[in-house]
């Protein structure tokens, strides 16, 4: 069992996994349960992607997207209902959830210099939390905080994750087949990118959510964190 007193500061719960595995929901619950700051790193990539789209920058152009980072400021302000996202001082919380922005975020995230810039920004954000953080993304346990005392890797089949996204989208959703195909393509980009590919950290606890209900997944994650933080158990 990890001794929280010997853990890196701040105390970090790292949650990684592909799109649609339930990371955001689980992270929000754990933050509330254990009094931690919830930092959604995916929102940061979406904010940069939004800036690229607004300015006509091709998300696949590594040099152009990297240049954007030199003049970009992204802030996450945790709220009761989730993070408020500020892009260069402007609230873009609603815009970063649009489907085209989400798709573009997956494309900008493959660029090495962009990921390096994001890692530095994510570590800085975590450093503002005296009580510790729950941070979810694709490479939190492997790159951003490799020494995190708690690492959880959530996964599920593309079909299960696509079905969840389809149900969440409601009437605005494309066909189930299109959503699943998009999920597969995002998986391919995330798992095959040259820098920080999506892989479980060697010491992460793997949780396959394919056949689990949300309450079951949340209960498992809560037990994992509680086992590493005796004072919260």
Q: What is the pLDDT of residues 31-46, one digit of tens each?
A: 989 988 888 888 999 9
With a cut of 80, say whether residue 80 has pLDDT above it.
no
Mean pLDDT for the chain?
A: 86
- Residue 76 CA: distances (Å) to CA of 133, 154, 167, 194, 197: 13, 23, 27, 27, 24
How many whole angstroms separate alpha carbon 190 and alpha carbon 142? 14
The helix-helix angle for 112-126 and 62-69 (nearest 10°) equals 30
21: CB partners within 8 A, 6+ apart: 154, 155, 156, 161, 209
Say yes or no: 133 and 233 in one domain. yes
Say yes or no: 108 and 47 in one domain. yes
Tokens of 42: 């995916």
Q: Decide which of 210 and 9 is more confident.
A: 210
What is the distance in angstroms between the CA of the first residue and the CA of the last residue of the chain?
Answer: 13
Domain end marker among 80, 98, 128: 128
| 3 lies in some domain | no
Place of tokens 């095959």: 192
Say yes or no: 89 and 140 in one domain. no
Say yes or no: 109 and 142 in one domain. no
| pLDDT given at position 8 | 45
Closest CA to 148 of 139, 157, 159: 139
| 212 lies in some domain | yes
| 4 lies in some domain | no
| Per-residue pLDDT band at 173 (split at 50, 70, 90) | low
Say yes or no: 134 and 226 in one domain. yes
Mean pLDDT of the 195-219 span = 91
Say yes or no: 232 and 151 in one domain. yes
With a cut of 70, say whether residue 2 has pLDDT above it.
no
How many whole angstroms separate alpha carbon 153 and alpha carbon 40? 15
Q: Is 173 helix (H, G, I), strand (E, B) or coil?
A: coil
How many whole angstroms separate alpha carbon 155 and alpha carbon 161? 9
| pLDDT given at position 215 | 93
| 210 lies in some domain | yes
Tokens of 13: 């719960």
Closest CA to 180 of 199, 198, 166: 166
Say yes or no: 106 and 169 in one domain. no
CATH code of the domain containing 144: 3.40.50.300
Give the structural domain span for 229: 9-36+129-233
Domain end marker among 97, 128, 159: 128
Say yes or no: 99 and 194 in one domain. no
């Amino acid at each position: 069992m990890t001794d929280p007193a010997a853990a890196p500061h701040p105390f970090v719960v790292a949650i990684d996994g592909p799109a649609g595995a339930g990371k955001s929901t689980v992270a929000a619950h754990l933050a509330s349960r254990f009094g931690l700051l919830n930092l959604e790193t995916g929102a940061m990539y979406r904010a940069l992607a939004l800036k690229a789209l607004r300015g006509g920058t091709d998300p696949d152009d590594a040099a152009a997207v990297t240049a954007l980072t030199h003049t970009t400021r992204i802030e996450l302000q945790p709220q009761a209902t989730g993070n408020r996202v500020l892009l260069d001082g402007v609230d873009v919380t609603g815009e970063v959830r649009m489907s085209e922005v989400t798709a573009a975020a997956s494309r900008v995230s493959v660029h090495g210099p962009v990921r390096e810039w994001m890692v530095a920004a994510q570590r800085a954000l975590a450093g503002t939390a005296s009580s510790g953080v729950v941070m979810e993304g694709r490479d939190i346990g492997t790159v951003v905080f490799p020494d995190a005392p708690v690492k959880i890797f959530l996964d599920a089949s593309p079909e299960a994750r696509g079905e969840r996204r389809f149900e969440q989208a409601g009437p605005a959703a494309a066909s189930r087949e299109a959503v699943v195909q998009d999920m597969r393509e995002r998986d391919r980009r995330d798992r095959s990118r040259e820098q920080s590919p999506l892989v479980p950290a060697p010491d992460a606890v793997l949780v396959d959510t394919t056949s689990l209900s949300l309450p079951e997944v949340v209960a498992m994650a809560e037990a994992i964190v509680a086992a590493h933080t005796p004072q919260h158990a």
